[in-house]
Chains A and B, each alone.
Chain A
Amino acid sequence: MKLTVDQLHITLDRSPILHGVSVEARKGDIVGLVGPNGSGESTLLRAVYRSLRPVDGVVRVGEDDVWTLSARAAARRTAAVLQDATGNTTGLTVTEIVALGRAPHHGLLGRDGTEDHRAVEDAIDHCGVRPYADRDYASLSGGERQRVLLARALAQSAQLLVLDELTNHLDIRARFELLDLIRATGITTLAVLHDLDLAARLCDHLAVLHEGAVVAAGPVLEVLTPGILRDVFGVRASAERHADGVIRITYAAQPLARDETAAPEPAAR
């Protein structure tokens, strides 16, 4: 399902975070949101999964403004894997966590049916978490947990996937494996990634957020120009497609001095 973010303005605690942000993802596209810390990526994601109401502008998933949908209807279209500091999942098994993904499909009196069961089992298989399906979620490693959360999102049977730093704190192999899992779903995806190499590997398109505005958007190589890398990210670097088809970024030995970049100090979140 396609995603259209149109001229989005968002204010948090009276300070404007996003100023007229527009981003698009066509059906099946994987779009990466990149930018220095505090540029407003997570805020944009919150608007997409209907957690923040914009001051102005609109988020459409499919043809509908997410705020014309109920919370549950929106969650049947959009699933998210987030960096969530709150919450306490102690005592839930992996299968129980994945089954949380079925919540938007039920009202208060809803009971699990065969469709729920199948969605949960398929998600468990797709993400390869079967070997620890009965274990306590709290006992898993970081990489295993992220797979479980991805499985939960897939069990939601949504047509848009929103990912916030899914691969943070994971070892390199776990990162690559997760990227493969995401690609294999074929679901339209909007992903915040701080690692530009991973973003280039995973995404069809990138949108660069800087100080609450999109400063560049398009195919990866068109976006990651030396100018953007210097002015937005503050590094001397270049991106190239290598012979194996993978886009890699080469960073210069010397970083730019702070006063050489057009970018100011990253704003505190």
Chain B
Amino acid sequence: MIVAISIGAVNVPLDDVWVIVLHHVTGVGAAPSDPALDQIVWNFRTPRVVLAAPVGAALAVSGAVLQTVVSNPLADPIVLGFSYGATLGAVLVITLGGGAALAGLGVSAAAFIGAVVAGAPVFVLGQRRGRLAPTRLVLAGVAVGYVFLSATSFVQLQATPTELRTVMFWMLGSVSGAHWDQLPTVAVVVLVTTALLTLFGRRLNVLLAGDESATALGVDVNRLRAVLLVLSALLTGTVIAVAVAVAVAGSIGFVGLMIPHLVRLTTGADHRRLLPLTALLGSVYLVLVDLLSRTLNRPNELPLGILTALLGAPFFLWLLRHNKGLD
């Protein structure tokens, strides 16, 4: 993280980063000598690097949970329509609010609501005879996603150029609008929900056995899904984790798909291990991606969505070829 903070349009020596961060965090040591450096490090770079971590964790953990909850290794917040719902919610607020502050709390709340509004019909339509049908679910997610996507395009057509620019950058994903005041909420929500989901780890494992087997193992499958997905967003965090991540940093694709599968391939599918490790790797990954997006095309920034898709799409294809569980 310290390295990630030091590299950017202007490189700051590692020593200086240490001094500045240490000064702000602990109050120890001399005040930074150069106010410009202090400004860059503490007010611009540190918040975005620190914010990238919980965002990555939230995306990756929600992907891991969704894949199990819907019994589909290719599930992620985008395939299930959550991301597009969240996008519409956020875009509505940005345009109606006359270009409201990027990634402010209003946008986050709207994106969360959008994700829930998109998610609910997907889960209703994805069922057959009261049981979740994985193929139907994915098709329902894609279809609902299209509806929200076109609604978003319509809203964009009505937007002013300034609003449009804000919207475009937001949709492709960037943590560059990070501010210190967003951090506590995001960090707390991500930490608490990841911890709660890890508590559900044993039941998530049982869900892997299939719906009927899980029922025979004492799990009320429908209620568990409802708890995990819709009704108790605060307790379980799947939906809120997606919404929070999307709301703060735009739709950052593929993290939810790549990271959980990487962890599964290396350490197995037991959720009590999988979820914490996924959170960890997700944060590291997004900090790195954020770093790359700031440095590859210096001094311009590449939005994160482009980079994660560039890395994620080939991985997705590789997964399609190698996953035995898909047949």
Question: Are chains A and B native binding partners rather than an unrelated pairing?
Answer: yes
Q: Given A88-B73, A91-B269, answer yes or no on A71-B208 (Cβ-Cβ < 8 Å).
A: no
Residues of A within 8 A of B129 (CB): 12-13
A51 touches B215 (CB 8 A): yes
B212 touches A71 (CB 8 A): no
A104 touches B71 (CB 8 A): no
CA distance A110 to B200 in the complex (A): 10
Return A50 CB to nearest CB of chain B, in Å: 7
B268 touches A96 (CB 8 A): yes
A108 touches B208 (CB 8 A): no
In chain A, residues 13-69, which have Cβ atoms closer than 8 Å to a Cβ of chain B? 13, 46, 49-51
B206 touches A90 (CB 8 A): no
Residues of B within 8 A of A199 (CB): none
- Of the four ranges (under 10, 10 to 19, 20 to 34, 35 or more), the interface on chain B belongs to 35 or more
B325 touches A50 (CB 8 A): no
A80 touches B213 (CB 8 A): yes
A91 interface neighbour in B209, B216, B264, Cβ under 8 Å: B264
Return B274 CB to nearest CB of chain A, in Å: 8
B147 interface residue (CB < 8 Å to A):
no
A100 touches B209 (CB 8 A): yes
Stretch at the interface among B85-93, B217-225, B237-245, B294-302: B217-225
CA distance A109 to B270 in the complex (A): 16
Q: Given A93-B268, A103-B202, answer yes or no on A51-B71 (Cβ-Cβ < 8 Å).
A: no
Q: Given A96-B270, A106-B202, answer yes or no on A80-B219 (Cβ-Cβ < 8 Å).
A: no
B106 interface residue (CB < 8 Å to A):
no
Give the nearest-CB partner of B269 in chain A: A91
A117 interface residue (CB < 8 Å to B):
no
B104 interface residue (CB < 8 Å to A):
no
B324 interface residue (CB < 8 Å to A):
yes
Residues of A within 8 A of B324 (CB): 90, 138
A89 interface residue (CB < 8 Å to B):
yes
Residues of A within 8 A of B163 (CB): none
In chain A, residues 72-109, which have Cβ atoms closer than 8 Å to a Cβ of chain B? 72-76, 78-80, 82, 84-93, 96-97, 100-101, 103-104, 106, 108-109
B218 touches A92 (CB 8 A): no
A5 interface residue (CB < 8 Å to B):
no
A162 interface residue (CB < 8 Å to B):
yes
CA distance A103 to B221 in the complex (A): 13
Give the nearest-CB partner of B270 in chain A: A96
CA distance A71 to B221 in the complex (A): 10
In chain B, residues 42-99, which have Cβ atoms closer than 8 Å to a Cβ of chain A? 68, 71-73
Give the nearest-CB partner of A102 in chain B: B202
Return A168 CB to nearest CB of chain B, in Å: 15
Per-residue interface assignment for chain A, residues 115 to 154, with 1 indicating a CB less than 8 Å from any chain B CB and 0 otherwise: 0000000000000000000000010000000000000100
CA distance A219 to B200 in the complex (A): 45
CA distance A88 to B67 in the complex (A): 10
Residues of B within 8 A of A50 (CB): 215-216
A90 touches B210 (CB 8 A): no
Residues of B within 8 A of A12 (CB): 129
CA distance A114 to B206 in the complex (A): 20
CA distance A88 to B64 in the complex (A): 13
Give the nearest-CB partner of B274 in chain A: A91
Residues of A within 8 A of B177 (CB): none
A162 interface neighbour in B214, B216, B220, Cβ under 8 Å: B216
Residues of A within 8 A of B216 (CB): 49-51, 75, 78-80, 82, 162
Residues of A within 8 A of B203 (CB): 103, 108
Return B64 CB to nearest CB of chain A, in Å: 11
CA distance A50 to B215 in the complex (A): 8
CA distance A90 to B206 in the complex (A): 13
Residues of A within 8 A of B210 (CB): 82, 84-87
Q: Given A71-B218, A100-B209, A109-B199, answer yes or no on A87-B71 (Cβ-Cβ < 8 Å).
A: yes
A92 touches B211 (CB 8 A): no
Q: Given A90-B269, A90-B325, A138-B324, answer yes or no on A103-B213 (Cβ-Cβ < 8 Å).
A: no
A100 touches B268 (CB 8 A): no
B166 interface residue (CB < 8 Å to A):
no
A103 touches B218 (CB 8 A): yes
A86 interface neighbour in B71, B73, B217, Cβ under 8 Å: B71
The list of the 5 closest CB pairs from A to B, nearest first, reads A87-B210, A75-B218, A91-B269, A84-B210, A104-B218
List 23 A-B residue pairs with CB atoms under 8 Å apart, sorted by A's residue number. Answer: A50-B215, A51-B212, A71-B218, A72-B218, A76-B218, A84-B209, A84-B212, A86-B134, A87-B71, A88-B72, A88-B208, A89-B209, A90-B324, A92-B268, A92-B269, A96-B268, A100-B205, A100-B209, A103-B217, A104-B218, A106-B202, A108-B203, A110-B202
Known interface pairs A75-B218, A86-B71, A92-B208; 11 further A-B residue pairs with C-beta atoms within 8 A, sorted by A's residue number: A82-B212, A84-B209, A84-B211, A84-B212, A87-B209, A87-B213, A88-B325, A89-B269, A100-B217, A103-B203, A103-B218
Residues of chain B whose beta carbon lies under 8 Å from any beta carbon of chain A = 68, 71-73, 129, 131-132, 134, 199-200, 202-203, 205-220, 264-265, 268-270, 323-325
